[in-house]
Amino acid sequence: MSFFTADQLALLSGRKVIVDFLVEMQFQSSTVRLWNGYTDLVSGGFTWSPLKGAAAIDGLGVSGGTVSESVTFTLNGLPDQANDLLGLALAETPDVDQQLVKVYLQLFAGDDHPTVEAWNPVGSPLAVFWGFLQPPKVSRTQMGDTQGAVQSISITAENVFFNRSKPPNGRFTDRDQQTRHPGDKFFQFTPNLLFKTFTYPDF
């Protein structure tokens, strides 16, 4: 059975091929499906929400070996975005850490301009990467004379070969700790300790 459908092979044989990535993040609370277009996209039986060009994926490639690889997802905020973006990202860490993420390649037939709504998906999305999400990180650019600062959230995903030499349950995560010591909730609270100030001695 061919990996591509007949329609997809016809598109790939042309001089111009229109593609984009679809990302599915399976958080503990819900599953989020995103793409970098400008409208909702219905493909593979699901609706993919638009990020309107504000997202980027770094590190995707083709590897024929069993090597550890990582992919980084970045979402840029707006200059007038709320200042609690950092706190929000850190608060969501337990919902994100070690959750599954999948990246798909989608072929399109239509205009090659991303703002045109006439993009039509051809065939089902093709899986090109899957891995486990790591805790999110937030950065902020310096403010300029005429331009405000831009906040960005980045999340790295490690593939299945990450830490393959470590013993089972060797990570400092709540899931591994529950396997080692059921009922021990220590690692549920570690994300909340970031950037906290402790006074010692406290009289």
Three-state SS annotation for the chain:
CCCCCHHHHHHHCCCCCEEEEEEEEECCCCEEEEECCCCCEEECCEEEEECCCCEEEECCCCCCCCCCCEEEEEEECCCCCCCCHHHHHHHCHHHHCCCEEEEEEEEEECCCCCCCCCCEEEEEEEEEEEEEECCCEEEECCCCCCCCCCEEEEEEEECCCCCCCCCCCCCCCHHHHHHHCCCCCHHHHHHHHCCCCCCCCCC
What's the pLDDT at 83? Answer: 47
Predicted local confidence at residue 37, as pLDDT: 86
Report how far residue 165's alpha carbon sits from residue 63's, in angstroms, rounded to the nearest whole number: 19
Say how far apart CA 151 and CA 86 lie, in whole Å.
9
Q: pTM for this structure?
A: 0.64
**What integer pLDDT is reported at residue 23 of this predicted model?**
92
Each residue's pLDDT expressed in tens, for the chain with a length of 203 residues: 466 777 777 777 766 778 889 999 888 888 889 998 888 999 989 999 988 888 888 887 665 555 557 888 888 764 444 444 455 555 667 778 888 899 998 888 765 544 445 578 888 888 888 888 888 887 766 666 666 666 678 888 887 765 555 566 667 778 788 888 888 888 887 777 777 777 877 76
Sequence spans of domains, the chain: 6-165, 168-203
Distance CA 3, CA 9 (A): 9
Please say whether the beta carbons of 112 and 16 come within 8 A: yes
Give the CA count within 13 Å in the CB-facing half-sphere of 180: 15
**CA angle at 137 for the pair 132 and 138, rounded to the nearest 5°:** 150
pLDDT for the residue numbered 80: 46
